[in-house]
Structure 1
């Protein structure tokens, strides 16, 4: 067996790639399940490229940091196949959690698929090494697969347990560390033997130069996706699940109040929402709360969250009557659905016991007095 070591700068670069890719992919799909199907597909596709490409890039950069006492390089076709496998497997997992009702079982299934995909991609990529041959132990393969399954499922449970900024950051750490740890657990159970190959041409480009190029490409792709498709820190939309869909044109802000339709009684007033390429309507009385999503909103009723094309200001101005009250710059609440209220010093919380999709809504300090008055407190 050949002795080997790693270039620690490239090891550090591989970890940075995994974290960057994890944050990009998980942020791109924030709120994707509430978007119309075409926009949801776009978000999932971009996320699959970011996450799957990040898994492969982390692995490949770490492998380029491998130092052996003999010349070696990687077969281009096998390397490309391993990259495409990572993107395909990640895309399947994202389709499971973003199309259909998201349950704990579906989240675990998606994590398990990625957990299998990471070592599959790793060992396929390792088979592309030329001029030397990797040798595996059954225990090493089993340990890598077990660790990958456990870490990936945990990362998905964290990231998709609650799609807020905190969970996305924690999920990013979980995802990045999972990919990183699985690679080196697998490497710990791997040895290398030299393969005689007289007159072998060797690599066209050095491993160091290739590692630099892959690292740069991974960060440029992730950065471009973040700039074009993520609304992680949009002012006025803190705590939202998603901003406008990737590539969507900004909706002009409402600058003047829109008068409610006087001829339509409050009980008959309906709010629009988009689903499967169509615009539907729901009675305003059935909606428990409305949440800002950048230039759009989400409607919460029962177990459903519906994508509404109106902005939060437009909804506030259009809905007639006094049942809806602004509790926060990101929330409108139907006071008839509020089951309890809790005072928190200068702020408060409205609770909804019968609304599965939304258990509570914050009340900001500037809105506290009005909300208490409208609730009869």
Structure 2
């Protein structure tokens, strides 16, 4: 019986380590903060984490086995391969149930690490039993070292990841878990020899290395990514919005009313120049088309303001609108005559002996004049 020499494909070995790390991160992330969730949510998260972690253990093992290079062709029995994957998922699920439904004492942490450690060993040797066309030979020292190393490293991984459920501890636990799976596999391979055997009866369908190379690596990444997204979308409860105190209404600064600025002078045109009268010295203003005439100092003068502009610019305390065409300074009204529905202000001014008061303005004019 000739012992076969073997080597490893560096890139597939590196890929197997990446698979273990990603699976560890996915599983530990999905179980973060489960104590704040309902029982059903915890069970769902643990199920996904068990598939991610257990599937990652299985995937790492077979990706690494794809990197095993023997001088002969070898295959894996599909039935035995499936059993090894289910064993890994089952033991991880048991450990997670223990961690999340029991008080997390040091004994529980150690027990979870031992369960997963023994599960990794069981998965490894069950998977190795599925080898076809060659047979593994195990040394007692290799088995013992693999069992002890698996239990110790997994206890350390759970102790770090669950000692304090922070992001930092999850990352450190991921490194420990991925390293544990990786190291245990190659320690077990170190204690294993391979011999060629003749083709025997088929136990089940065979899976070639080419198929495994594509399926195992891709399925591991897709599965972990899908579970992370699913966990974020459906498992993690919506965070309640923090209650914020109602803002204290602040007193707005009191703005002082802006006093309107009225014109103190009224312009008029004479001899090609613009002159000005003091507004208080003007007796009346009469509309003349788009312009006005102002009456002051016993004479009439032309002003470029319209009657509307004059009303807007002048202080209403000085000028009162008696008609749509007239503004009157009450100080210059000599007498008031009440007619049936309107009135007349007698001004006794040259060219403006009296100013009409419309019915609409009658009441306001009488109040200003005090009659």
* TM-score normalised by length of structure 2: 0.63
In 2, the alpha carbon distance for the partners of 1:195 and 1:227 equals 45
Q: Which runs of 4+ in 1 moved over 6 A?
A: 198-203
In 2, the alpha carbon distance for the partners of 1:117 and 1:201 equals 24
In 1, the alpha carbon distance for the partners of 2:174 and 2:131 equals 30
Matched, 1:313 2:242: yes
Q: Do the aligned residues in 2 keep the contact of 1:140 with 1:190 (CA within 8 Å)?
A: yes
Change (3 A) 1:217 1:180: same
Query: Which residue of 44, 47, 55 maps to 2:46?
Result: 44
Change (3 A) 1:211 1:41: same
* Structure 1 residue aligned with 2:290: none
Pairing 1:41-120 to 2, within 5 Å after superposition: 41-120=43-122
Helix, strand or coil at the partner of 1:12: helix
* Structure 1 residue aligned with 2:365: none
Helix, strand or coil at the partner of 2:4: coil
In 1, the alpha carbon distance for the partners of 2:201 and 2:79 equals 21
Q: Do the aligned residues in 2 keep the contact of 1:155 with 1:171 (CA within 8 Å)?
A: yes
Pairing 1:1-377 to 2, within 5 Å after superposition: 1-197=3-199, 206-230=208-232, 246=235, 250=238, 295=239, 311=240, 313-314=242-243
Helix, strand or coil at the partner of 1:196: coil
Q: Do the aligned residues in 2 keep the contact of 1:73 with 1:202 (CA within 8 Å)?
A: no
Change (3 A) 1:203 1:13: farther
Question: Where in structure 2 are there 5+ consecutive unaligned residues?
Answer: 247-371
Helix, strand or coil at the partner of 1:134: strand
* Structure 2 residue aligned with 1:340: none
In 1, the alpha carbon distance for the partners of 2:186 and 2:123 equals 14
Question: Where in structure 1 are there 5+ consecutive unaligned residues?
Answer: 231-243, 251-294, 296-310, 319-377
CA deviations 1:247-274 (Å, max 9, x no partner) are: 75x4xxxxxxxxxxxxxxxxxxxxxxxx
Change (3 A) 1:33 1:3: same
Change (3 A) 1:46 1:83: same
- Shift in Å, 1:105: 1.4
Helix, strand or coil at the partner of 1:102: coil
Change (3 A) 1:111 1:245: farther
- Shift in Å, 1:212: 2.1
In 1, the alpha carbon distance for the partners of 2:167 and 2:211 equals 36
The number of aligned residues is 244
Q: Do the aligned residues in 1 keep the contact of 2:80 with 2:127 (CA within 8 Å)?
A: yes
Helix, strand or coil at the partner of 2:193: strand
* TM-score normalised by length of structure 1: 0.62
Change (3 A) 1:104 1:198: closer
In 2, the alpha carbon distance for the partners of 1:134 and 1:204 equals 18
Taking only aligned residues, the RMSD between alpha carbons, in angstroms, comes to 2.1
In 2, the alpha carbon distance for the partners of 1:23 and 1:106 equals 21
